C-alpha cells in the first residue's frame, strides 16, 4: 500500500505527538504521585485522551487509508491539524520540562 505524501507526513506528525505525549504523561504521573494536585490530574487525563486519539489516528492511517484517500483537500486539512496539534504539544512539553 502506497500512502499519499500528505498522509505520510501526517503519520509522522502523529508519531512525534505520541512520543511527546508519552514523555509528558510520564512526568504528569510522577507529579501527581508527588503532589496529588487536581490540576496535574487534569493534565494527565488530557495527555491520556490525546495519546489515545493519536494512536487511533495512526491505526486509521495504516489500516483504512481510504478514510482520507479520496479528497486531497481533506488530506491537506488533516496535515494542517496534525501540525497545529504537534506544535501545541511541543510547546506544552517545553514548558512542562522547563
Per-residue model confidence as pLDDT tens digits over 65-88: 566 667 888 889 989 999 999 999
Q: Is 47 exposed, middle or buried (0-12, 13-18, 19+ CB in 10 A)?
A: buried
Q: How many percent of the chain have pLDDT more than 90?
A: 69
Total domains, the chain: 1
pLDDT tens-digit map of 37-59: 999 999 999 999 999 999 998 88
Q: Which residue has the cell 483504512?
A: 64
Q: What is the mean pLDDT of the chain?
A: 90
Q: Is the pTM of this model over 0.85?
A: yes
Distance of CA 63 to the CA centre of its chain: 18
pLDDT surpasses 70 at 19? yes
Where in the sequence is the domain holding 77, given as residue range(s)?
5-97
Give the C-alpha separation, 4 to 8, whole Å. 6
Amino acid at each position: 500500500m502506497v500512502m499519499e505524501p500528505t498522509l505520510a507526513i501526517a503519520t509522522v506528525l502523529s508519531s512525534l505527538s505520541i512520543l511527546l505525549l508519552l514523555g509528558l504523561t510520564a512526568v504528569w504521573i510522577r507529579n501527581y504521585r508527588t503532589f496529588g494536585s487536581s490540576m496535574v490530574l487534569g493534565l494527565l487525563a488530557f495527555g491520556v485522551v490525546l495519546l489515545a486519539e493519536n494512536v487511533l489516528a495512526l491505526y486509521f492511517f495504516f489500516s483504512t487509508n481510504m478514510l482520507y484517500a479520496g479528497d486531497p483537500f481533506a488530506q491537506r486539512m488533516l496535515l494542517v491539524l496534525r501540525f497545529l496539534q504537534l506544535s501545541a504539544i511541543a510547546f506544552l512539553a517545553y514548558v512542562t520540562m522547563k
